[in-house]
Amino acid sequence: MEIHEILFWFLTVMALGCGLGVILSRNPISSVLFLIATFFAISGHYILMNAQFLAIVNIIVYAGAIMVLFLFVIMLMNLNADTEPQKNRLIQFAGVLSGGILFLVILAALRTTTSNAADFTSTDIGLMKNLGKVLFTQYVLPFEISSVLFLSAMIGAIVIGKKE
Amino acid sequence: MMLLQLDVAFIIEKLILITVILMGSLGIAMYATWGERKVAAVMQDRRGPSRAGPFGLLQPLADGLKLFMKEEIIPDSSTRGLFILGPCLAMLTALLTSAVIPWGPDYVTEAGRIISLQVADINIGILFIFGVLSIGVYGIMLGGWASNNKFSLLSSIRAAAQAISYELAMGLSLIAVIMMTGTLSLREIVDQQHGFWSDGYFTWNFFKQPVGFMVFLICTFAELNRAPFDLAEAESELNMGFHQEYSSMKLGFYLFAEYINLFVSSVILSTLFFGGYNFPFMDQVQGAVPQFVFVAVCVLVLLTKAICFILFFMFVRWTLPRFRYDQLMKLGWKSLIPIALINMVVTGLVILWTMKK
Amino acid sequence: MQKLTNRSVQVDRSPMTMGEKMYLPAIAKGLGITLSHIFKKKATVNYPEEKRPFSPVFRGLHILNRDEEGREKCTACGLCALACPAEAITMEAAERKPGEEHLYREEKYAAKYEINMLRCIFCGYCEEACPKDAVYLTETLMPASYQRKEFIYKKEDLLIPHPKKTETK
């Protein structure tokens, strides 16, 4: 087994295990920590695919900023088992149903895709220069639209914050 | 696969380099505590540590020994695992940043082998530093939360909010620099600042980006949790902050990580804005002395610059009083981010104008 | 209300000007102040090596005097105890027996003489009250101790060494 494969399997197991940890752990703080570990595993995958820029941005934005805010809010709310509201059966049933349907859809989508095994080394789309070029030429419209989306989200946050 | 083509000599070379850098940063961090106390003393007309060894030079050893000998206390009501993880993360992130810093120019042996004085020359060096920096706040947050103490919790929340707010301005101020250099690799950024004077202007980024430097410097203060932005451990309000429940070496890790961060940030500041290991008339010096001496001089120059920054950080700490929290947020969001944005736009326009010509 | 001094100043609450809002000049000024302090004379005295001179009227630990022949001067008159505002001194008098003339100068002497240093305020009134020049306050600082009883100085602790014999205790 090559070192590359070993790393791949290690990161995959780590990502899946930590992902399970997110939904299975009782304590919301450890959920968040598992999620952060998952992000690290995904960043590791990016690095294996020679996309250092994506990897590091994933860490900066998700692990470094968004998850800190998550942790922040959870710490302030001081969630634990006592404060968790009891859900009635109907809601539990609806949750299971919708989750199952989502799972089914994903499964169906994965079944039909033809997996063309990614050649890890030759692709360098994840490098900063190539990524920038692609984003500002081929995909400039979606890129700009998403930035407008962020702007509106920011304005929305300010409006909510301003409300007395 | 690139990863597999490592030869043994390369690994040994890197291992030695890593060991030297780790030991060096630990040593400098140790003596930074001594320096901090000395600087505080001379500014307050005192003498500072003077008993342990000549000029109190053995004081850091005595302090370290004291921390080792103290009883290890883990509060009953704390979350045990996270309580231990907190200081470890703080230490890890503090030490991790030094991996991408170019400590000196390449040394070419007679056999033609190039020994790089940089642990990893990754093409996204600056982003790596930012990534590690953004992880660094977890050490404080987890430690503060796991202590199960309201002051610690408040402190960790303050630290997190502060770090996130100032990371933005820091990043924006750096974007202007990156736009000028056109690269994210620290090695290339340093190479572009070669010497001191070329083509009728200074080569160092400080002279090209004074505003960016100011914003970056102020944000560094905030990121380091140092006075005047040391709200995370405001003694008068939070009575020790996030490390209130810590004792023994776990406390030592936090305190030590703080000083390692101080050293590494100083090195990063000198690398990004003050030419790294470059110094005036370096070409003449390079021609005059053997290569080994030249590399040593370059490393010493970088260390000197870093120590100047460390002294400056201490100087400011013992001068300015602490900011109030709303003032801190106002400064970050309403002053530094707009300034950094304007600086970015102006830099862009200047680059466009010079490219057109 | 009439002012006592002219030093009080009205606080200026006018909004800051643009220059003041930059903070940087003010910060530079502050840094200048601390910088100037680096070169100022240090206020510290390196204690065990270097001692601050005592004032000539400094009052420290008490002693009980002897005369030239080594006889105790104290006659247990009780004036020092009376003068003491803190009531730190207690004593018990005894009559001098024949054959003890080389020990005590007067016919009456202090069999017990105790000063409670926890009460003593080092005012020196005992010294002033003493008609026989027996009690004096020296320039010695009182040593610290872990126990209260160590602070109650007995006659043996207070007496100066015998001028002729080397060992008196």
Q: Is residue A79 predicted with pLDDT exceeding 70?
A: no
Give percent of chain A above pLDDT 70. Answer: 84
**pLDDT given at position B162:** 86
Tokens of B225: 């949790």
Task: Write out the residue range of the structural domain in which residue B109 sits.
Answer: 2-356
Q: How does residue B250 score in pLDDT terms, banded at 50, 70 and 90?
A: confident
Predicted confidence at residue C46, as pLDDT, reads 82
State both tokens at C169. 């205790």
Chain B residue numbers with beta carbons less than 8 Å from the beta carbon of C47 are none
Q: Which residues of B touch C40 (CB under 8 A)?
A: 45
Contact B103, B118 (CB under 8 A): yes
Report the alpha-carbon distance of residue B106 to residue B292 in Å, rounded.
10
Task: Match domain A3-126 to its CATH number in 3.40.50.300, 1.20.120.1200, 1.10.3720.10, 1.10.1660.10.
Answer: 1.20.120.1200
Count of residues making up chain B: 357
3-state DSSP call for residue B114? strand
Q: How many CB pairs under 8 A join A and B?
A: 74
pLDDT digit string (tens) for A127-154? 777 888 888 888 889 989 999 999 999 8
The pLDDT, as a whole number, for residue A98 is 93
Confidence of residue A119 (pLDDT cuts 50, 70, 90): low
User: How far apart (Å, rounded) are the C-alpha atoms in residues B199 and B208?
Assistant: 13
Q: Per residue in B54-70, pLDDT tens?
A: 888 888 888 888 888 88
Tell me which chains share at least 3 CB pairs under 8 Å with chain A. B
Average pLDDT, chain C: 84
Task: Indicate yes or no: CB of A59 within 8 angstroms of CB of B82.
Answer: no
- Choose from B3, B4, B142, B329 for mutation: most chain A CBs within 10 A: B3
Q: Tell me the mean pLDDT in the region B280-302.
A: 81
Taking an 8 Å cut-off on Cβ atoms, the answer to whether A72 and B141 are in contact is yes
Q: What are phi and psi of C140, to 5 degrees?
A: -80, 135
Report the pLDDT value the prediction gives residue C168, as an integer from 0 to 100.
45
Cα-based angle C77, C100, C116 (whole degrees, multiple of 5) = 40
Verify whether the Cβ–Cβ distance C31 to B47 is below 8 Å: no
The predicted pLDDT at position A153 comes to: 92
pLDDT at residue B3 in the model:
47
List pLDDT tens digits, range B90-149. Answer: 888 888 888 888 887 877 777 777 777 777 777 788 888 888 888 888 888 888 888 888
Q: Taking 90 as the threshold, does the pLDDT of residue A110 lie above it?
A: no
B116: which DSSP letter? Answer: -
Q: What is the pLDDT of residue A17?
A: 92
Closest partner residue to A60 among B130, B157, B163, by Cβ? Answer: B130
Can you give the pTM of this predicted structure? 0.80
- Token pair of B193 as six digits: 């600042």
Question: Which sign does the torsion angle of CA B41, B47, B53, B54 carry?
Answer: positive
Note whether B253 and B200 are within 8 A (CB): no
Q: Quick one: which of C16, A68, C21, C31 has its CA closest to B228?
A: C31
What the block records as the tokens of B1 is 């696969």
* Residue A149: predicted pLDDT: 94
For range B203-225, the mean pLDDT: 85
Residues of chain C contacting residue B315, judged by C-beta atoms under 8 Å apart: 31, 34-35
Tell me which residue has tokens 């030759």: A122
* C72 pLDDT above the threshold of 60: yes
Query: Which percentage of chain C shows pLDDT scores above 90?
Result: 7
- Binary contact (B156, A60; C-beta < 8 A): no
Three-state SS at B26: helix
List the single best residue of C44, C45, C46, C47 to mutate versus B (max B Cβ within 10 A): C44
Chain B residue set in contact with C, beta carbons under 8 Å: 42-47, 50, 315-316, 318-320
pLDDT digits (tens, 9 = 90+) for A25-72: 877 888 888 898 899 899 888 888 777 888 888 888 888 888 888 887
Question: In chain C, what are the domains?
Answer: 62-168 (3.30.70.3270)
Question: C39 or B283, which is more confident?
Answer: C39
Contacts with B, C 56-95, CB within 8 Å: none
Could you tell me the pLDDT band of residue B239, with boundaries at 50, 70 and 90? confident
Helix H or strand E segment including B115: strand B114-115
Chain C residue at shortest CA distance from B215:
C24
Considering only the beta carbons, identify the residue of A59, A63, A75 that sits closest to B145. Answer: A75
Give CA B269 to chain center in angstroms: 8
Q: Do C42 and B318 touch (CB under 8 A)?
A: no
Distances (CA, A) of B122 to A47, B99, B119, B127, C37: 11, 10, 9, 10, 45
Bigger pLDDT: A111 or B111? A111
* pLDDT of B2 above 60: no
Looking at the predicted structure, is the pLDDT value of residue B313 above 50? yes
Q: What is the predicted pLDDT for the residue at A121?
A: 56
- Selecting from A52, A53, A121 the residue whose C-beta is nearest the C-beta of B1 gives A121
Partner residue opposite C31 with nearest CB, options B47, B50, B315: B315
Q: Which two three-digit tokens encode residue A127?
A: 């490098």
pLDDT (average), residues B262-282:
85
CB contact under 8 A, C38 and B42: yes
- Asked whether the beta carbons of residue C37 and residue B47 sit closer than 8 angstroms, the reply is no
- Pick the residue of B97, B121, B123, B127 with the most A CBs within 10 A to test the interface with A by mutation: B127
Neighbours of B186 (CB within 10 A): 25
Which residues in A have their CB inside 8 Å of a CB on B? 2-4, 29, 33, 36, 52-53, 56-57, 59-60, 63-65, 68-69, 71-72, 75-76, 121, 127-128
Cβ separation A128–B160 shorter than 8 A? no
Q: Which of C117, C126, C128 is nearest to C82 (CA)?
A: C126
Provide the domain count of chain B.
Answer: 1
pLDDT tier at A102, thresholds 50, 70, 90: very high
CA–CA–CA angle A109, A112, A113 (5° rounding): 85
Helices B248-273 & B125-146 angle (0-180, nearest 10): 160
Long-range CB contacts for residues B198-205, cutoff 8 Å, separation at least 24: B203/B275, B203/B278, B204/B273, B204/B274, B204/B275, B204/B278, B205/B177, B205/B180, B205/B181, B205/B272, B205/B273, B205/B274, B205/B275
Contacts of C among chains (3+ CB pairs under 8 A) = B
User: What is the spatial distance between Cα A155 and Cα A122, in angstroms, rounded to a whole number?
Assistant: 42
- Minimal Cα distance from B156: which residue of A? A72
User: Is residue C41 classed exposed, middle or buried when 0-12, 13-18 and 19+ CB atoms within 10 A define those classes?
Assistant: exposed
Residue B5 and residue B88: Cα distance in Å, rounded?
Answer: 32
Q: Alpha carbon of B226 to those of A66, A155, B244, B320, C90: distances in Å? A: 24, 32, 17, 11, 58
Q: Residue range C33-52: average pLDDT?
A: 84
Whole-number Å distance between alpha carbons of A48 and C157: 83
Q: How far apart are CA B340 and CA B104, in angstroms?
A: 30
Q: Which residues of A94-118 are buried (b: 16+ CB within 10 A; e: fewer)?
A: eeeeeeeeeeeeeeeeeeeeeeeee
| Distance in Å, alpha carbon of B335 to nearest chain C alpha carbon | 9
In whole angstroms, give the CA distance from residue B167 to residue B211.
Answer: 16
Angle between helices B125-146 and B150-181 (to 10 degrees): 180
CB B35 within 8 A of CB C29: no
| Nearest C-alpha neighbor of C117 from the set C79, C80, C145, C98 | C145
Question: In chain B, what residues touch C31 (CB-CB under 8 Å)?
Answer: 315-316, 319
Q: Cβ contact (<8 Å) for A68 and B153?
A: no
Residue C145, token pair as written in the block: 């101790």
Interface residues on B facing A, Cβ-Cβ cutoff 8 A = 1-4, 79, 82, 122-124, 127-128, 130-131, 133-135, 137-138, 141-142, 145, 153, 156-157, 160-161, 163-164, 167, 184
Task: Give per-residue pLDDT as tens, B162-189.
Answer: 888 888 888 888 888 888 888 888 888 8
Is the pLDDT confidence value at C113 over 50? Answer: yes
Three-state SS string over chain C comes to CCCCCCCCCCCCCCCCCHHHHCCHHHHHHHHHHHHHHHCCCCCCCCCCCCCCCCCCCCCCCEEECECCCCCECCCCCCHHHHHCCCCCEEEEEEECCCCCCCCECCCEEEEEEEEECCCCCCCCHHHHHCCCCCEEECCCCCCCCCCHHHHEECHHHHECCCCCCCCCC
For residue C33, the chain B residues in CB contact (below 8 A) are 319
Chains A and B touch, using 3 or more CB pairs below 8 Å: yes
Q: How far is A65 from chain B (nearest CA, A)?
A: 6
Q: Is the predicted pLDDT of residue C22 greater than 70, yes or no?
A: yes
Tell the residue number behind the tokens 């247990």, with chain if given: C76
**Predicted confidence (pLDDT) at residue A120 exceeds the cutoff of 60:** no
Q: Six-digit token pair at C140?
A: 């010695």
